[in-house]
Amino acid sequence: MDVARGTGGAEIVRPLDEITMLDIYRAVDCVENGELFHFHENPNRNCPVGRNNHTVLDGKLDRAQRAMENEMDRITMAELISETKSLIRDQT
């Protein structure tokens, strides 16, 4: 997508079957440092749960994020638009 500031608008510059949900997810930069699950930067080292949160959760949350991103990479904008048009057609 090419976006111009001001009243320039936006223009899609690739075919819709080449644009995935993952492309859009990354383009809108909705997560901090690419990490969907970002939490508790400075846990209390004296807390038995807090000091172990990252050891227990980080790898699992990374795997969950990768699984979500892999699925998003399989869904194209062409597919979403086609499905939306089909639903609208069926509802009229």
Residue 43's pLDDT is what?
87
Q: Which long-range contacts (CB under 8 A, 24 or more apart) does 34-39 make?
A: 35/65, 36/61, 36/65, 36/68, 37/61, 37/62, 37/64, 37/65
Domain assignment of residue 39, given as a range: 15-91
pLDDT at 1 over 60: no
Query: Looking at residue 81, which CATH number applies to its domain?
Result: 1.10.10.10
Tell me how far CA of residue 11 lies from CA of 4, 6, 16, 76, 83, in angstroms: 9, 14, 12, 17, 22
How many domains does one find in the chain? 1
For the segment 24-73, what is each residue's pLDDT rounded down to a tens digit? 988 887 777 777 787 888 888 899 999 999 999 999 999 999 999 999 99
- Label residue 8 by pLDDT band (50, 70, 90): low
pTM of the model as a whole: 0.74
Cβ neighbours, 10 Å, residue 20 = 20
Confirm whether 4 is domain-assigned. no
Helices (H), the chain: 21-27, 53-72, 77-91
Residue 37's pLDDT is what?
82
47: which DSSP letter? S
Residue 84's pLDDT is what?
97
Confirm whether 8 is domain-assigned. no
pLDDT at 88 over 70: yes
Residue 11's pLDDT is what?
80
For residue 30, the SS3 value is coil
